[in-house]
Amino acid sequence: MLALLSDEQQMLKEVAVQIAGSAGPANPSDLHTRDRAAAWQSLAQSGLLALRTRDDEGRPVGSGVEVAVVAEALGAGLVPVPYLGSAILATELLALAGAHDEAEALAQGVSRTGVLLDRDLSALARVPGDGPTYGWDVDGAAAALALTDSPDGPQVVRVSLETGFVPVAGADLTRTLVRSDGPIGAAHLTPVGRPLSPEDLQRWEALTLTAISADAVGVMRAAVARAVAYAKERVQYGVLIGSFQAVQHMCAEAYVSAESAASATNYAAWAVDELDPTEALMAARTAKAQCAAVARDVTETVMQVFGGIGQTYEHIAHVHTRRALTDRQVFGDEGTQLLRIADVRLTGE
């Protein structure tokens, strides 16, 4: 599909790309030296943390398209800050629950809140429960949001990450993961705002899947661009490796896969605020399924184009692959999404 950005969206993209360029790692060792606090402050000062807060008329400040634009730029830069976890997923949950003051606090960048996921990272955690549960994309966050059942519907609750959670080594080197193996009792839950309606949850899930898909698109597009640039300068047997037909085919297939995922994500981003929640969620599931199906192949192809150096820890290629693999898993891979699409199309539920 042909997707054109407005002048304001193009400016937003340029700001996000500029921040990502200064905050993202050029190689894995940069992940230990980058000033993550400064990057977060830059996002806050640019207003990029406030896209899903609400204006005076109760509408999101930024659309799904604008969220996707920023998420793709930060994904492309492998920026190690919790933009999806705090600025998008948690802020949108708070706004839908009517906790606007807390959403504004996150937008100011003075505090961070993540989300709590179930044992296979495929859904927002339901508590109380026996666990394990995971706090995902929680760098600098003191708490994470989950859901609990209430007589009036799903209730957003805050769970402290300061007790009972320990850091775990996930595949993704750019985002923080913590785990609780013990039960999370009712005494540890703090209700936030009002209960959510089924439409609220569908709208939130549509935005969530779309934002993660946009991050994956950014990761894939940047990885392919690096590989193509390398193929144009790396010489083997006296010629550029980009002159070999096998390398050309690998790069071309990776490019087509990444761009097909981008097309599905662009439509889902538009659908977030323009279609009814059921159809918006279907578009988001389609985008997530497309991104998840190709993310591993695209980024592993890039590692192959780089040859032996692309297989080493010191090279940036595996950081792309690790982030892509996590994007694939979080909130469900292609198998999960396609089964849910089939359920809706075959049963209407």
Q: What is the pLDDT of residues 127-181, one digit of tens each?
A: 988 779 999 999 999 999 999 999 999 999 999 999 889 999 989 999 999 999 8
Q: What is the pLDDT of residue 348?
A: 76
Grade residue 2 by pLDDT with cuts at 50, 70 and 90.
Answer: low
Q: What is the pLDDT of residue 184?
A: 85
Per-residue pLDDT for 326 more than 80? Answer: yes
Grouping H, G, I as helix, E, B as strand and the rest as coil, residue 142 is coil
Per-residue pLDDT for 315 more than 70? Answer: yes
Q: What is the pLDDT of residue 12?
A: 96
Please provide the size of the chain in residues: 349
Between 345 and 80, the more confident residue is: 80
Q: What is the pLDDT of residues 212-259, one digit of tens each?
A: 999 999 999 999 999 999 999 999 999 999 999 999 999 999 999 999
Q: Which residue ranges form the domains of the chain, and what is each CATH number?
A: 199-347 (1.20.140.10)
> Can you say how many angstroms the Cα of residue 43 is from the centroid of all Cα atoms in its chain?
16
Q: Mean pLDDT over residues 115-120, rounded?
A: 95
- Helix 198-231 vs helix 64-76: crossing angle, to nearest 10: 40
Q: Mean pLDDT over residues 247-275, rounded?
A: 97
Q: What is the pLDDT of residue 183?
A: 83
Q: What is the pLDDT of residues 81-98, one digit of tens each?
A: 999 999 999 999 999 999
Q: Mean pLDDT over residues 17-36, rounded?
A: 94
Question: Is the Cβ–Cβ distance between 268 and 190 less than 8 Å?
Answer: no
Query: What is the distance in angstroms between the CA of the first residue and the CA of the last residue of the chain?
Result: 28
Per-residue pLDDT for 1 more than 60? Answer: no
Per-residue pLDDT for 281 more than 90? Answer: yes
Q: How far is CA 89 from CA 27, 227, 244, in A?
A: 28, 31, 44
Average pLDDT, the chain: 95
Reported pTM: 0.96
State the DSSP H helix or E strand holding residue 244, giving kind and residue range, or none if neither: none
